């Protein structure tokens, strides 16, 4: 029996393509034990986050340090990463890897520089307009503790810098000795992050939202994280800007019988090795092809360093056999995946028919893994079906618009009477008098 289960399209919505709410997922036993040991009660994840946020609000740095060291198992260290640590990281990371990070950052910067050419711009016409400007200070959650993810730092921070955000700061988990992984520091420097602080989880987001003695308050928080980070974003929304709520990564490989089974398997496993909660899904038009991919998955699983993680994720996903490309596309659009990989004959012809996806990867030569690193668009993309209404992280997320109204006396005489009439119809006489006094004065 292979790890990749195969179902027909009629069963898919109730099995492979079903989604349970991320925030309702049961906590692993180790995390439940940690919560009990920390708080003395079997709290839910949401209750934990609420307590942490309130403690950071009251205690500032002390709470951030206490919770970060408790959950990361890290030694005490100054909260802010010093410039000497950045310099040491440059020496510790192999030069070839530094060049690869620089290459990635350059590609991401180039794409988002093109993107900003198509972003909203300020205008003024007939007394009306808008001013477009970047937010003042962005906070980047530098995700990754056990698995270090310098690519996420680059893909989150570079669009901020391109958008013109004057201050970009980062928060990150520390290692057991209190240091920050050098790959993160090299990536942060290349991405344009100006300051980095040792703070993780919900306590880091609360610090960014409120500000502490050491960590400055930001205008908006960006970047993916674990369940507790996601819950903190949800609870802090409105007190600080939030980019989105991100869940575990997910990929749909949409294929027909022309697709090489080993490539389909490789693309599924590339996402599966991220996290046991990842969702890798094959939608194919051939049951024989699905079986061939399942066999290729099984063969490749045996070769992976993170094979146990990948197997658990593959078992959460599966393969769906559709009657034809039309049904396959309908299922993919309904699922609205973070990543949609097209491995079909004339894959480019399907792109106009895709309504819901964070990113579309077209053909054999555009694997999703290139998007993770060096393709160019930010790999921070909508998950959990939110691609129905949300977009990948972009320069637009770091911009805000202010409307401007600068009318003349003639404009007031022309449009004022209608405004006064509408105000009186709504019973807002003070509104009406504000207009009428001016009209009387003219």
Q: ∠ at Cα 365 (362, 371), nearest 5°?
A: 70
Dist CA 80 CA 98 (whole Å): 23
pLDDT digit string, tens, across residues 328-356: 999 999 999 999 999 999 999 999 999 99
54 is catalytic: no
Half-sphere exposure of 328 (CA within 13 A, CB side): 26
Q: Residue 168's beta-bridge partner residues?
A: 138
Q: What does the mean pLDDT of the chain come to? A: 95
List b or e across 413-425, with b for residues whose CB sees 16 or more CB atoms inside 10 angstroms: eeebeebbeebee
Helix 150-163 vs helix 95-116: crossing angle, to nearest 10: 40
User: Is residue 148 predicted with pLDDT exceeding 90?
Assistant: no
Neighbours of 73 (CB within 10 A): 12
Dist CA 270 CA 253 (whole Å): 11
242 pLDDT band, cuts 50/70/90, is: very high
Q: Confirm if 335 and 318 have CB atoms less than 8 A apart.
A: no
27 pLDDT band, cuts 50/70/90, is: confident
Catalytic residue among 250, 273, 338, 368: 338
Beta-sheet pairing, 128-134 with 399-405: antiparallel
What backbone phi and psi angles, to 5 degrees, belong to 128? Answer: -125, 150
Please name which of 168, 271, 158, 280 lies closest in space to residue 221, comparing C-alpha atoms: 168
Q: Confirm if 328 and 322 have CB atoms less than 8 A apart.
A: yes
Helices and strands, number each (H, E), in the chain: 17, 14
Does 3.40.50.720 match the CATH number of domain 83-122+134-242? no
Q: Residue 318's beta-bridge partner residues?
A: 281
Q: The dihedral of CA 229, 230, 234, 235: what is its sign?
A: negative
Is 6-19+248-389's fold the same as 83-122+134-242's? yes
Q: Residue 320's beta-bridge partner residues?
A: 7, 283
Write down the CATH superfamily of domain 6-19+248-389: Nitrogenase molybdenum iron protein domain (3.40.50.1980)
Which residue's entry shows tokens 């908006």? Answer: 220
Q: ∠ at Cα 379 (393, 273), nearest 5°?
A: 140
338 is catalytic: yes
List b or e across 74-97, with b for residues whose CB sees 16 or more CB atoms inside 10 angstroms: beebebebeeebbeebeeebeeee
Please tell me the least confidently modeled range out of 16-20, 290-294, 416-420: 16-20
Q: Confirm if 201 and 49 have CB atoms less than 8 A apart.
A: no
Cα torsion 309, 310, 311, 316 to 10°: value is 100
pLDDT digit string, tens, across residues 104-146: 999 999 999 999 999 999 999 999 999 999 999 999 999 977 7
The pLDDT assigned to 187 comes to: 98
pLDDT digit string, tens, across residues 192-221: 999 999 999 999 999 999 999 999 999 999
The pLDDT assigned to 233 comes to: 97
Return all residues near 277 (Cβ < 8 A) that are at least 6 apart: 25, 247, 248, 313, 316
Look at the domain 407-441 and name its fold.
Answer: 1.20.5
pTM greater than the 0.85 cutoff: yes
Dist CA 235 CA 9 (whole Å): 37
Neighbours of 20 (CB within 10 A): 8
Please name which of 227, 270, 221, 223 lies closest in space to residue 248, comparing C-alpha atoms: 227
Dist CA 168 CA 163 (whole Å): 11
Q: The dihedral of CA 140, 141, 145, 150: what is its sign?
A: negative
Catalytic residue among 112, 181, 289, 339: 339
Q: Residue 198's beta-bridge partner residues?
A: 172
Q: Where are the domains of the chain?
A: 6-19+248-389, 83-122+134-242, 407-441
């Amino acid at each position: 029996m292979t790890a990749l289960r195969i179902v027909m399209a009629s069963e898919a919505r109730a099995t492979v393509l079903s989604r349970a709410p991320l925030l309702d997922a049961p906590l692993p036993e180790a995390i439940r034990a940690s919560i009990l040991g920390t708080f003395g009660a079997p709290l839910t994840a949401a209750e934990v986050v609420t307590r942490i946020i309130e403690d950071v609000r009251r205690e500032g740095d002390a709470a951030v340090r206490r919770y970060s060291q408790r959950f990361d198992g890290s030694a005490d260290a100054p909260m802010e990463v010093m410039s000497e640590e950045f310099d040491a990281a440059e020496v510790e990371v192999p030069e070839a890897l530094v060049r690869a990070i620089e290459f990635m950052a350059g590609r991401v910067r180039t794409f988002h520089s093109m993107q900003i050419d198509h972003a909203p711009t300020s205008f003024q016409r007939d007394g009306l307009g808008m001013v477009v400007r970047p937010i003042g200070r962005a906070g980047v959650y530098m995700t990754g503790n056990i698995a270090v993810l310098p690519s996420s730092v680059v893909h989150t921070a570079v669009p901020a810098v391109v958008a013109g955000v004057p201050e970009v700061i980062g928060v990150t988990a520390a290692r057991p000795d209190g240091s920050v992984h050098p790959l993160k520091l090299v990536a942060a420097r290349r991405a344009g992050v100006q300051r980095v602080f040792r703070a993780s989880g919900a306590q880091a987001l609360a610090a960014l939202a409120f500000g502490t003695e050491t960590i400055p308050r930001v205008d908006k928080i960006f970047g993916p994280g674990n369940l507790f980070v996601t819950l903190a974003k949800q609870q802090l929304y409105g007190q600080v800007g939030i980019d989105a709520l991100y869940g575990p990564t997910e990929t749909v490989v949409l294929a027909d019988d022309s697709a090489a089974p080993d490539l389909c398997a490789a693309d599924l496993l590339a996402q599966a090795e991220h996290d046991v909660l990842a969702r890798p899904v094959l939608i194919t038009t051939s049951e024989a092809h699905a079986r061939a991919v399942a066999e290729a998955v099984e063969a490749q699983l045996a070769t992976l360093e993170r094979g146990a993680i990948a197997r658990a994720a593959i078992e959460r996903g599966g393969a769906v056999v559709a009657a034809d490309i039309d049904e396959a596309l309908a299922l993919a659009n309904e699922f609205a995946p973070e990543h949609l990989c097209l491995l079909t004959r004339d894959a480019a012809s399907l792109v106009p028919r895709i309504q819901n996806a964070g990113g579309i990867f077209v053909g054999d030569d555009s694997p999703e893994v290139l998007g993770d690193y060096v393709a160019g668009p930010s790999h921070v993309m909508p998950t959990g079906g939110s691609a129905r209404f949300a977009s990948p992280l972009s320069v637009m997320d770091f911009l805000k618009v202010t409307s401007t109204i600068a009318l003349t006396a003639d404009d007031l005489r022309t449009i004022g009477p209608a405004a006064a009439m509408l105000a009186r119809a709504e019973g807002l006489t003070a509104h009406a008098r504000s207009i009428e006094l001016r009209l009387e004065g003219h």
